[in-house]
Amino acid sequence: MSTPILEVSDLKTHFFTRAGVVKAVDGVSFSVGAGEIVGLVGESGSGKSVTGFSLMGLVDPPGRIVSGSVKLDGEELIGLSWDQLRALRGARIAMVFQDPMATLNPVLTIGTQMRLAISAHDKTSRRAADARAAEVLTRVGIPEAQSRLGSYPHEFSGGMRQRVAIAIALLHGSQVLVADEPTTALDVSIQAQILTEMRDLAAETGTALVWISHDLATVSTLASRLLVMYAGRIVEQGPVASVLRDPRHPYTAGLLRSLPATAEPGQDLFQIPGTTPSLLDPPPGCPFRPRCAHASDMCAADPPLETSGERGVRCFHPLRETVNA
């Protein structure tokens, strides 16, 4: 791994609701190198999106980053004021979301939206801003970009809309791009196109990519490293190929077995029994314990993250044998 551009250590983001404290992110640590693509996977409610928003400093109340550190190119982001963070957002660390229909403003032309994003960090003439917007749109694969600046989001197809959103995020050549399920709302064929383009862009510009997804299959084609999140924690991490071939955490193994590609035709898909636990005042110990076939009395204590080489797993009973091809 090259020198880390983003270093997250022991990040904790909790939501202080009336019912109690929801520990959506509870001690997450990872780092991403320049130009590297890291996949952050987990089920809904595992805290992966909140992790993304925490990196941006965009956690909505009643949520709050309680502790931990996020370093962007060596600079600590936690504790910066809203204005200091605003100056970084979009310029050095950017984010795209799942549904471009919801993120782009339906009543402003994309030219206007891109100009607003440009002028948030650079004071340029309208002409220069338009030229830059068109250039970035071309780079994400939008044909005749110059003439499309006057179009509204509804005049684009779903895939094109997401490309526009990605272009807005890339306007200032961010060092880190957090992508929160940006292809989930798209057709499979469009998904593949965008994934390829994103990979090329990351390689070309040196932008590090944190790709958040619930879809292990998609992430595995794109990312070089995988972080598996469960109940607000990273339970397994390592290079994609190695984790897929040889999952150590029973949860990762379960996720892999439930992929349609691994099932025999005509057979029911494998399901991990039970559901994701509530993160509202979780009991101590391994949060996966109630759903785990390997759980023992030991699991009532918190398992530490055991690392060996590039692999890491948070489990007292890591799997040794190959579960899946």
Provide the binding-site residues for other proteins, judged by CB under 8 A: 56, 58, 60, 86-91, 94-97, 99, 102-109, 112, 116-117, 120-121, 152, 154, 165, 168-169, 171-172
Cβ atoms of 288 and 212 closer than 8 Å: no
- What sign does the dihedral 238-241-244-246 (CA atoms) show? negative
Quote the least distance from Cβ 113 to other proteins, whole Å: 8
3-state secondary structure of 66: strand
Question: Which is nearer to other proteins, 39 or 90 (by Cβ)?
Answer: 90
Which is closer to other proteins, CB of 180 or CB of 236?
Answer: 180
First to last CA, the chain: 26
Smallest distance from the beta carbon of 84 to other proteins, in angstroms? 11
Q: Which is nearer to other proteins, 151 or 262 (CB)?
A: 151
User: 163: which 2 tokens?
Assistant: 């490309």
Residue number, 160 or 240, with CB nearest to other proteins: 160
Helices and strands (H and E) in the chain: how many: 11, 12
Closest CA to 259 of 295, 311, 221, 231: 221
Whole-angstrom distance, CA of residue 86 vs CA of residue 150: 27
- In whole angstroms, the minimum distance from the beta carbon of 32 to other proteins comes to 17
Distance in Å, CB of 142 to other proteins, minimum: 18
Nearer to other proteins, 99 or 246 (CB): 99
Angle between helices 158-170 and 188-205 (to 10 degrees): 20
Question: How near is the Cβ of 126 to other proteins at its closest, in Å?
Answer: 15
d(Cα 45, Cα 73) in Å, to the nearest integer?
29
Residue 182 beta carbon to other proteins: minimum distance, rounded to whole angstroms: 11
* C-beta closer to other proteins: residue 184 or 262: 184
